[in-house]
């Protein structure tokens, strides 16, 4: 079951430059950068209380974020993430209705170790959607 919005992910060419700009223009504080080696990205979060903004910079040319930035060199919204009670149950349930689930549901994990899966953009009005098993932080 979907329980809420977790975060919106924005691909950026430079995490440091994005953090400086968001601080200067909007007063947003960006947390410490982390690396997700499996996905080939540096990432940092802006905590908004009820949701977060995730900034993602590719660690190399083979990252999906590098490919996204080839088409959007200034950066842009890459996907949004929804909290779910159980990734496997949610992914299995929507797949049974014909939704294309990307990745290995239940096997892929984010930088926090939580289980994630993705819904193909063609099955959610052009938006890539991440499903994240929600745990209290």
Q: What does the alpha-carbon distance between residue 88 and residue 99 come to, in Å, rounded to a whole number? A: 14
Classify 8 as helix, strand or coil: strand
Q: Would you please indicate which residues are annotated as catalytic (active-site) residues?
A: 130
Give which of 51, 60, 4 is closest to 28, Cα–Cα: 51
Q: What does the alpha-carbon distance between residue 35 and residue 48 come to, in Å, rounded to a whole number? A: 21
């Amino acid at each position: 079951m979907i329980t809420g919005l977790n975060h919106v992910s924005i691909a950026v060419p430079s995490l440091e430059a994005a953090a400086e700009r968001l601080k200067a223009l909007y007063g947003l504080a960006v947390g410490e950068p982390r690396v997700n080696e499996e996905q080939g990205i540096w990432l940092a979060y802006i905590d908004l209380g009820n949701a977060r903004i995730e900034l993602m910079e590719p660690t190399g040319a083979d990252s999906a974020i590098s490919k996204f930035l080839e088409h959007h060199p200034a950066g842009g919204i890459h996907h949004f993430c929804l909290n779910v009670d159980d990734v496997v149950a949610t992914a299995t349930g929507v797949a049974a209705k014909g939704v294309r689930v990307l990745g290995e549901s239940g096997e892929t994990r984010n930088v926090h170790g939580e289980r994630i899966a993705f819904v193909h953009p063609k099955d959610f009005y052009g938006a890539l959607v991440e499903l994240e098993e929600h745990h209290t932080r």
